[in-house]
Structure 1
């Protein structure tokens, strides 16, 4: 089974890309949805979060995510404490997803993780797709969201790995500013390439997993694969 990571900064089109991969028939693990489940009533994160942030209790027995977000947004130490609780639980959900997809005989499984590089999630992946878009389009998309302000947008970006670094670390880039049809075409090509290759990331083992080109030792092969996937222009 080939494990494909999917990530990108806020407003870059990651959620749209994840939806298109599902449309192509690929199983996708949504890390954001996993966090919501963990913080919902009965979720595994509720008790440890309330032990650290008792003011974040919701009336239904879960966590008030808005209150929790306001508590940690401008407090780096508090955010770190929250991440220490959530990240291992989210990782456990991802591992369960991969194990289940392998049992089901999936050729390709996708990990949709916003903070994939920030949390070391690329080590679970055979290749990582980074979605990106011009900065002006990113800002336009984000500032259309209800309640979003330029100041909040800037603060969110400051907490994320810069898009330029993600693009440099990516195995495959997908530009999402060219229309949904073009994004779908590129993702279909990536999915086909992934399905043709034997994954090495799952079950976990030592060593860097292969990328979509099949090797990092052949720049020519990697270049051809990137062009076939339509991921970047030279």
Structure 2
């Protein structure tokens, strides 16, 4: 089974790429979805409230992810603190899903994770695909999608490892500075390349 890592910085279109893979019957392990699910663990949730304050608790007791985001995107130490709390639990869930895929005889499994390199997942993947885009496009997408200011968008971009640093690790790069239609063409070309060159 081929384990493909897919990563890219905020606003580059990683989720759009994964959706194209899904439509082509490729199994996706979505780290962001898992990161939401782990907060069903009340002990973890309480630990996050203790570490980051009551300002991130909604009135119903759930996590205000936007409020937490404002804290960690503007403070590298707080971002590291959050990652130290959540990443071990996320990684365990991902490993469980990989083992299940192996038992189901899947030919390809994709790990979709924003912090794939930073989280040490390069040790468990076989190949790495990185999606990139021009910074101006990236900023506009974040502003439009999240209804935030340009300054907030830049702050989020700067909280991540740079695109230039990430592509050093890449086995394949897709530039997604154009339309969704263009991404679809590039993704299908990549799927063909992957099956011909990386799958047994």
| TM-score between the two structures when normalised by the length of structure 2 | 0.87
Which residue matches 2:126? Answer: 126
Structure-1 separation of matches of 2:18 and 2:48: 28
The alignment's TM-score, normalised by the length of structure 1, stands at 0.76
| Backbone CA RMSD of aligned residues | 2.3
Partner of 2:22: 22
Counterparts of 2:44 and 2:106, CA distance in 1: 29
Q: Relative to structure 2, which stretch is displaced further, 156-165 or 72-81?
A: 72-81
2-side partners of 1:84 and 1:7: how far apart? Answer: 20
* Contact persistence 1:43–1:62 (CA under 8 A): no
Q: Where does structure 1 differ by over 6 angstroms across 4 or more consecutive aligned residues?
A: none
Residue 208 of structure 1: aligned partner:
none
Q: How many residues align?
A: 199
The corresponding residue for 1:177 is: 177
What is the CA–CA distance in structure 2 between the aligned matches of 1:65 and 1:101, rounded to whole Å?
30
The answer to which of 178-187 and 166-175 deviates more is: 178-187
| Corresponding position of 1:137 | 137
Q: How does 1:62-81 map to 2 (within 5 A)?
A: 62-81=62-81
Q: Is the 8 A contact 1:37 1:43 kept in 2?
A: no
3-state SS of 2:131 partner: strand
Aligned mates of 2:195, 2:52 — CA distance in 1: 44
Give the match for residue 203 of structure 1.
none
Using a 3 Å threshold, how does the CA distance of structure 1 residues 136 and 54 change in structure 2: closer, same or farther? closer
Q: State the alpha-carbon separation in 2 of the partners of residues 37 and 115 from structure 1.
A: 17
Q: How does 1:91-130 map to 2 (within 5 A)?
A: 91-130=91-130
**In 2, are the aligned partners of 1:2 and 1:195 still within 8 Å (CA)?**
no
CA gap of 1:155–1:114, structure 2 versus 1, over 3 A, is: same
SS for the counterpart of 2:145 is: coil
How far the C-alpha of 1:93 sits from its partner, in A, is 1.4
Which structure would you say has the larger RCO, counting Cα contacts within 8 Å and 6 or more residues apart? 2
CA shift in 2, pair 1:44/1:93, >3 Å: farther
Q: Which residue of 2 aligns with 1:35?
A: 35
Deviation at 1:75, TM superposition (A): 2.8
101-110 or 162-171: which moved more? 162-171
CA positional deviation for 1:11: 1.2
- Quote the Cα distance in structure 2 between the aligned partners of 1:78 and 1:135: 25
8 A contact 1:9–1:160 mirrored in 2:
yes
